[in-house]
């Protein structure tokens, strides 16, 4: 995990767990949590850009992590990376230049501004493995993408290219992969020109609906997991489909 001060109050967080393709390995989770704690502790920051490396933004849960959930060893709330961006006091921009799969996509959608790569793939692939979505996906997908497309992506678990999502009318900038980061940093610089207190105040106001709705949504998703996560078919799907 790279933490870089870009000057004028802009922080660039780069996820680069290359060995695990930016899945939610312990190293990546710990790096994200540490980075956001550091941002909260330093008053000079005004805007954050979160990005990945090469063709990967974040690929969500690891095989081991999903199998542990299937074995009833914990819940998706145990390592809460999905609300780090929305709980951050300053705006966070998701420069999703690369593939964003499952929890990786959801983590990006919880950011305040989202930018996609035209060549990259985006999927809410929970149902691919046979269990219902978690991490607030059932709220944030329809909220950010629109009800029809959000529900379609959650139910189908299919891969959608950035170009396809652009054609479907997603309300995000969709650029060539190599243009995403520069565009995000440009937006961050515009934000950082504003007073920090005003940015924090407006973000808190804009997120009030999300903050009010999320606890109930998470409770409902955990209840659905209790019904769907522990099926033998789910374990078989995780074991055989994870790298497909």
Residues identified as active-site: 225
How is residue 81 written in tokens? 């990376």
Cα angle for residues 150, 153, 158 (degrees, 5° grid): 165
Contacts 24+ apart (CB under 8 A), 156-161: 156/127, 157/123, 157/124, 157/125, 157/126, 157/127, 157/128, 158/123, 159/121, 159/122, 159/123, 159/125, 160/121, 160/122, 160/123, 161/118, 161/119, 161/120, 161/121, 161/122
69-82 core/surface letters (b: 16 or more CB in 10 A; e: else): bbeeeeebbebebb
User: How far is Cα 98 from Cα 136, in angstroms, rounded to an integer?
Assistant: 21
Which three-class secondary structure state does DSSP give residue 166? helix
Radius of gyration of the chain (CA): 17
User: How far is Cα 23 from Cα 56, in angstroms, rounded to an integer?
Assistant: 9
* H or E element at residue 2: strand 2-7
What's 26's DSSP letter?
A: H
* H or E element at residue 183: helix 177-192
């Amino acid at each position: 995990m790279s933490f870089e001060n870009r000057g004028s109050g802009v922080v660039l967080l780069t996820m680069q767990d290359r060995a695990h393709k930016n899945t939610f390995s312990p190293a990546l989770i710990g790096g994200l949590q540490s980075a956001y704690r550091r941002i909260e502790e330093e008053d000079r920051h005004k805007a954050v850009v979160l990005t990945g490396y090469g063709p990967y933004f974040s690929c969500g849960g690891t095989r081991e992590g999903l199998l542990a959930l299937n074995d009833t060893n914990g819940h998706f709330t145990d390592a809460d990376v999905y609300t780090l961006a929305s709980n951050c006091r300053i705006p966070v921009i998701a420069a999703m230049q690369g593939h964003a799969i499952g929890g990786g996509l959801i983590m990006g959608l919880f950011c305040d501004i989202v930018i996609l790569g035209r060549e990259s793939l985006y999927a809410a692939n929970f149902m691919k493995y046979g269990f219902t979505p978690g991490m607030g996906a059932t709220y944030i997908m329809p909220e950010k993408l629109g009800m029809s497309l959000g529900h379609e992506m959650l139910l189908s678990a299919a891969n959608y290219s950035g170009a396809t999502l652009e054609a479907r009318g997603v309300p995000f900038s969709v650029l060539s992969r190599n243009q995403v980061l520069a565009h995000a940093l440009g937006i961050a610089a515009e934000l950082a020109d504003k007073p920090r207190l005003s940015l924090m105040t407006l973000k808190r106001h804009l997120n009030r609906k999300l903050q009010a709705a999320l606890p109930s949504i998470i409770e409902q998703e955990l209840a659905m997991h209790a019904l769907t996560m522990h099926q033998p078919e789910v374990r078989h799907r995780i074991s055989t489909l994870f790298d497909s």
